[in-house]
Amino acid sequence: RGSIIITSNLPFEEWTEVFGSERLTGALLDRLTHHVHILEMNGESYRLKHSRNKQQ
Instruction: Quickly state the pLDDT bin for 56 (edges 50, 70, 90).
Output: confident
C-alpha closest to that of 36 among 11, 5, 8: 5
Q: What is the pTM of this model?
A: 0.62
Per-residue model confidence as pLDDT tens digits over 14-23: 999 999 999 9
> What is the distance of C-alpha 45 from the center of its chain?
14
Per-residue model confidence as pLDDT tens digits over 5-45: 999 989 999 999 999 999 999 999 999 999 999 988 888 77
